[in-house]
Structure 1
Amino acid sequence: MHRILIALLAAFDAIVAGLVGLAVVLAPLTLLWIFTLGVTADWAGLWPATARIWELGNLVPLSLRFDADALLAVGLPDEAAAFALTLAPWAFAAFAAIFAARSGARAVRAGSGITGVLAGTAVTAGIAALVLVTSGNTLADVVPWQAVVLPTAVYGAGALCGAWAEAWGEGDGGLVDTLRERIDGWSGSWREVPSLAVRGGAIAVAGIVGAAALALVVAVILRADAVIGLFEQAQVDALGATAVALAQLVYLPTLLGWAVSWVAGPGFAVGAATTVSPAGTQLGAVPGVPVLGLLPEQGSGWLLLVALLPVAAGAAAGWHARAVLAAEWESDPPLHDGHPHEPVSPRIVVAVATAVIAGAVAALLAALSSGSMGPGRLAVAGPDPGAVALAVGLEVLLGAAILLLAPQGRRAAADDQAADSGAFTRR
């Protein structure tokens, strides 16, 4: 396919991604605006509000400033007149990255992944700049370069990952194919190590995220009364309850990031000097947001057993890698002193690389799920990326090492012994 056409298709993808993200904010905000303020209301603030919510969802920090009348209207104390809001509802960023990944993969299939990635990223930068210059807002301010660079980086990273994954699997006739040819030229089991490390990290991360999602579902079941109670205390009508529910829905990936850190063990904060972890919960006053009713009132030593779930995810990754390596050894058994020998070094590298990848992804989830959610002590919220990365890395390493470094089973050992005996008899 001609590169100009590839660029145009990639640009169209970026436009669709940007418009969908903005429409998801603008549509419910418009309905809320109509039903609360009426059609005769001043519409000048609708687009700036939409733009700022979209920017926050794409990881752009907001600086909020309230005057005395606004503080009185929303019931905030004087110290809340100015504060940063950086805890992002990164469902918007996740959608943009996934959409961009599909666009990047399609560009590779069309024959020019670089063209597609660059075109989509450039158009996203233009959209972000246009949103910035048309959305002056005295209530919520942004740093201009962040408002352009961060949404662009989200889309560009997604497109690049999608293009690389497609090129690795299907070939691109260029850099990726050259790299694969070099790796395929490695001896024995080493040629499988890079792909096994990536697949193992993906298996481990999928297992941990699945366990976190299950923990979140259990919390919803066990703490539903507390959530409903906070909804009732808010004293909102059906329209207000719908708006609150939608706002909480876009924060679902952020809550999932909190759940990942809880399952891993370090837990997370909901304000300065607070912690929510399996070992215990220490909370002061928290905002009356209904979804925060899911927070457990206390921990338990028994809940520390949830840390076995990341270990199990690492074991699943190790089992997969061991099966692939075993098949490789059977087809081309390495020899040591003339006898079949199962090398240890590739297994160690796969176990360590799997743990590093899983820890890095967990750290990214924690970083995306942390920030400031309000003034004062609420400026600290979410998990500590370093602690989560260390915990997940060690837990996954333990599980993967158990499966990858365990001795061969009795049957395999017996087969090797029989082969050695047969060779001795023939001599």
Structure 2
Amino acid sequence: MHRLIVALLSSVDAAIAVAVGIAATLAPLTLLWVFGFGGGADWGVLWPAAVAVWQLGNLVPLHIMLPPEYLAATGIPADAASFALSLAPLAFAVFTAVFAARSGVRASRADAWITGVASSIVVFAALATGAALTGVNGVAVAVTWQAILVPTLVFALPALTAAVVTEWIEAGSGAIARLRDRVESMPHGWAETPALIARGSAVVVVGLVGLGAAVAAVAVFARAGRIVALFQAGDADVLGATLLTLAQLAYVPTLAVWGLSFVAGPGFAVGEGTSVSPAGTQVGIVPGLPALGAVPESTTSWLLLLALLPVALGALAGWIARSRLVHAGAPTPGRAEDAVAARLTITAGIALVSGAAAALLCVAASGSVGPGRLAHFGPDAGPVALAVGLEVLVGAAILLLSPRGSHDPAAPEPPAPAAAAEATTEPIELPRLTSHGPSRVPD
């Protein structure tokens, strides 16, 4: 495909990623403006609000400054008028990342991945700059360079990663293809190491996110009565309840990461000095948001068994890697069945990448929602990364580093038995019974 066409298509992808992300907030706000205020208020104030929500969803921290008239009407103390809001509704970041990865894959398959990725990043950065400059408001303030750089990184990193991975897998020529061919020419075990680390880590990370989402879903169903009670206590009309529900749906990926941290063991916080983990729960008073009604008031030590699930995911990744090593080629005479150092590297690589990915997810899913004790919500990246890394390391080591028995399909085939000696052509003498005793059959 012509490079100009690739650049244009990638630019359209970037524009759609920004437009859909902002429209997802602007559309509900417009409905609120029409049905809630009857169109009497200035519609222009909705644009800064939509931009601020989009920026927050793409990991940009906001500095909230409540106006004095609002403080007087609500009775909020003056010392709570200014605070940081940084707990991101990750649905926006997930959409941006998925759209960016799709654009990177398409650019790679068009044999112009550098052109496609570069053009999409430039267009996304330009649109993010425009949104940051036109969406300035006095209530939710974002630092300009963060409002431009952070969303651009959320788009750029998945686009670049997807393009490079696709080049590694599918490209027949180019610098990445030459590097891949050079790696694949290495001795058995080392040739498969990069791909097996990436594949095993992907299995673990996807599995952890799935487990976190399942735990969050179970908590929501188990605490459905409490969630409904918090909705009713809010005394919101149909439109307000709908907007509140949509806002909480944007936090579903955030809650999935909280569930991941719970499965791993360290858990998460819902305020300064609180902890929600299988080992114990101490929450105190939490904000009356319906989604937080899913937070359990107590836990049982039996939930510590959930830590076996990351171990199982590590074992699954180790089994996949070991199977690939088996089918990559049989060992040659005079050499160990495969490089022990390579298997050690794969095991450690899967654990390190999985722990780093868990830490990155925890950083994205934690932050502040208000002043004082509300400044700490979500999991701590360090303990979760350490727990995930160790659990995955144990599981992967069980499969990758255990000795191979004779029943293992990876074990070398025993040498073929020597050919049987050729049968002689001489006749065989058989005994014959006579009245005088056995005698030989004559030749």
Which bin holds the TM-score, normalised by the shorter protein? over 0.9
How far is 1:75 from its partner? 4.9
Task: Say yes or no: does 1:352 pair with 2:348.
Answer: yes
Relative to structure 1, is the Cα distance of residues 352 and 39 closer, same or farther in structure 2, using a 3 angstrom cutoff? same
Which of 380, 389, 396 matches 2:392? Answer: 396
Give the alignment of 1:239-278 within 5 angstroms: 239-278=239-278
1:176 is aligned to 176
How far is 1:76 from its partner? 3.0
User: Is the 8 Å Cα contact of residues 405 and 411 (structure 2) preserved in structure 1?
Assistant: no
Which of 414, 418, 429 matches 1:419? Answer: 414
TM-score where L is the length of structure 1: 0.94
Relative to structure 1, is the Cα distance of residues 414 and 206 closer, same or farther in structure 2, using a 3 angstrom cutoff? closer
Please give the alpha-carbon distance, in whole angstroms, between the structure 2 residues aligned to 1:172 and 1:155.
27
* 2:40 partner letter: T
* 2:316 partner letter: A
Relative to structure 1, is the Cα distance of residues 186 and 64 closer, same or farther in structure 2, using a 3 angstrom cutoff? same
How far is 1:37 from its partner? 1.4
How far is 1:216 from its partner? 1.2
Give the alignment of 1:311-390 within 5 angstroms: 311-328=311-328, 331-336=329-334, 341-390=337-386
2:145 is aligned to 145
Relative to structure 1, is the Cα distance of residues 389 and 234 closer, same or farther in structure 2, using a 3 angstrom cutoff? same
How far is 1:94 from its partner? 1.2
Give the alignment of 1:3-402 within 5 angstroms: 3-171=3-171, 173-328=173-328, 331-336=329-334, 341-402=337-398
* 2:195 partner letter: S
Please give the alpha-carbon distance, in whole angstroms, between the structure 2 residues aligned to 1:194 and 1:342.
16
**SS of match in other structure, 1:276:** strand
**SS of match in other structure, 1:191:** coil
Please give the alpha-carbon distance, in whole angstroms, between the structure 1 residues aligned to 2:296 and 2:149.
37
Is 43-52 or 310-319 further displaced after alignment? 43-52
**SS of match in other structure, 1:128:** helix
Alignment: residue pair count: 420
Unaligned runs of 5+ in 2: 422-443
Measured against aligned partners, the alpha-carbon deviations of 1:253-295 in whole angstroms (never above 9, x if no partner) come to 1111111111100111111111111111111211000000010
**SS of match in other structure, 2:407:** helix
**SS of match in other structure, 2:192:** helix
How far is 1:113 from its partner? 0.5
* 1:380 partner letter: H
Which of 404, 408, 411 matches 1:408? Answer: 404
Relative to structure 1, is the Cα distance of residues 398 and 367 closer, same or farther in structure 2, using a 3 angstrom cutoff? same
TM-score where L is the length of structure 2: 0.91
Please give the alpha-carbon distance, in whole angstroms, between the structure 2 residues aligned to 1:268 and 1:203.
23
* 1:360 partner letter: A
User: Is the 8 Å Cα contact of residues 108 and 172 (structure 1) preserved in structure 2?
Assistant: no
